[in-house]
Amino acid sequence: MPQQLTSSGDNPPTAIRLRRRSRLVEVDFADGERYALSFEYLRAHSPSAEVQGHGPGQDVLQIAKENVSVLAIEPVGHYAVRLVFDDGHDTGLYSWKYLRELGATFAEKWARYLERLDGIGYVRKPRSPDPGKP
SS3 for 15-46 is EEEEECCCCEEEEEECCCCEEEEEHHHHHHCC
Q: Rounded to two decimals, what is the model's pTM? A: 0.86
pLDDT at position 128 is 64
d(CA 53, CA 80): 19
Reported as a pLDDT band with limits 50, 70 and 90, residue 3 is very low
For domain 3-119, give the CATH number: 3.30.2020.30
CB 96 within 8 A of CB 9: yes
Q: Tell me: the pLDDT tens digits for 14-33?
A: 999 999 999 999 999 999 99
- Per residue in 49-70, pLDDT (tens digit) is 999 988 888 899 999 999 999 9
